[in-house]
Amino acid sequence: MITGLSGAGRSAVAAVMEDLGWYVVDNLPTSLVPTIVELASKPVGGIARLALVSGRNHDDLLPHVAQLRGDGHHVTLLFLDASTPSLIQRYDATRRRHPFTEDGSGVREAIEREREALVRVRDQADLIIETSELNVHQLKDRVVAAFSDSESRRLQVQLQSFGYKHGLPIDADVVMDVRFLPNPHWEDALRPLTGHDPAVRDYVLERAVTARFLDRFEALLVEMLPGYQSEGRSYLTIAIGCTGGRHRSVAVSEELSRRLAAHGIAAKASHRDISLGG
C-alpha cells in the first residue's frame, strides 16, 4: 500500500514497482481496496504481488490494512513524505492544483491540511521515505532496495548519514550522534574530501574511541534488530549524524553497514548531505 503527501512521489514509486513486476493500481479510492485485493487473490487472477496507490480519501485506509493482515495477507504500508518547502516548489513548477485546496487557501495551507489528515497513517507506516532531497534515480534505488524479490521478506536496515547543520532526517527510526569523534574538517588536507576517501576513513576509524564506539554500537544493533523484526517491522532507518554530514557520519555509516552485513543483516548505507558544502 503506497500512500503519503501529494507531490511526494507516489506516482514515481508506482512506476518503479511496475518495473519490478508488481501489478499496480494508481490513485485507488480506499473503499475499493478490499474488492481489488479479493479479485487479485482469486486463482484465475494470477496476481501474487499487488501495489495499491491510495487516493485522497485516507479515512478508512488503516482499518483496511488491519483487515487484510487479519485475513493473512502480507501488507507493507509505505508512506512518502517531503518538507513543505519542497512540495511548494514542486507544485509551483507543475502549476497543478493541490487536492486539499479550499476556497481562498494557498498551497502551503493545503499541504499542512493534508499533512494533519495523514498523521495517524504516517505513524503506523512500515516504511517512510523522505523525498525532499532525493532525485528520481535515488528514489528508485530506495524502492528497489526495499521491494526487490531477494530482500523483500527480510528486515531492511538503512544507515543514513546526515549533517546536523542541515536538519534531522524526518524518516529516521534511530538517531546516533557521532560529533564526539575527532573531526577531519579541521585538517586542511582532509576538509575537501569525504568519508568515502581512504584518508578520511582511516582518520575516523583508526581512532581508539571510534573502535570502542563501533564495537558497542554494533553489539547493541545486533541485539536490537531481531526484536524489531519480531514486532513486524520490515524496515528500519538508522541515522548517523555529524556536523556537516560529509566526513565522520559517512565513514561510520559505511563501516556499520559492512559490520551488520557480516552478521547476515540486510544493511545499506546512504548519504543525505555528502554533496553539500561545509
pLDDT tens digits, residue range 152-204?
456 889 999 999 999 998 889 999 999 999 999 999 999 999 999 999 999 99
165 shares a domain with 100:
no
Q: Are 16 and 140 in contact, with CB atoms under 8 Å apart?
A: yes
User: Of 147, 172, 201, which one is at a domain's C-terminal end?
Assistant: 147
This prediction's pTM: 0.62
DSSP 177: E
Dist. CA 50–CA 43, nearest whole Å: 14
* Contact (Cβ atoms closer than 8 angstroms) between residue 37 and residue 68: yes
Is 277 among the domain residues? Answer: no
> Which phi-psi region, left, alpha or beta, contains residue 157 (left: φ > 0; alpha: ψ -120 to 50)?
beta
pLDDT digits (tens), the chain, 278 positions: 999 999 999 989 999 998 888 899 988 888 888 888 888 888 776 788 899 998 666 768 899 999 999 988 889 999 999 999 999 998 888 778 888 887 777 889 989 989 998 999 999 998 899 999 888 888 888 888 788 764 445 688 999 999 999 999 888 999 999 999 999 999 999 999 999 999 999 999 999 999 999 999 999 999 999 888 877 677 889 999 999 999 999 999 999 999 999 999 989 999 999 988 65
| Judgement on whether residues 171 and 141 belong to the same structural domain of the protein | no
Residues 140 and 161 in one domain: no
- Name the nearest CA neighbour of 17 among 143, 136, 141: 143
The domain tally of the chain equals: 2
Cβ-Cβ contacts under 8 Å for 185 (sequence gap 6 or more): 191, 243, 244, 246, 247
Question: What range does the domain containing 112 cover?
Answer: 2-147
Which pLDDT score is estimated for 266? 87
Same domain, 10 and 117: yes
Cell numbers at 239, concatenated = 541515522
Select from 114, 147, 180 the last residue of a domain: 147
Domain end (from 147, 174, 206): 147
- Residues 6 or more apart from 44 whose CB is under 8 A from it? none
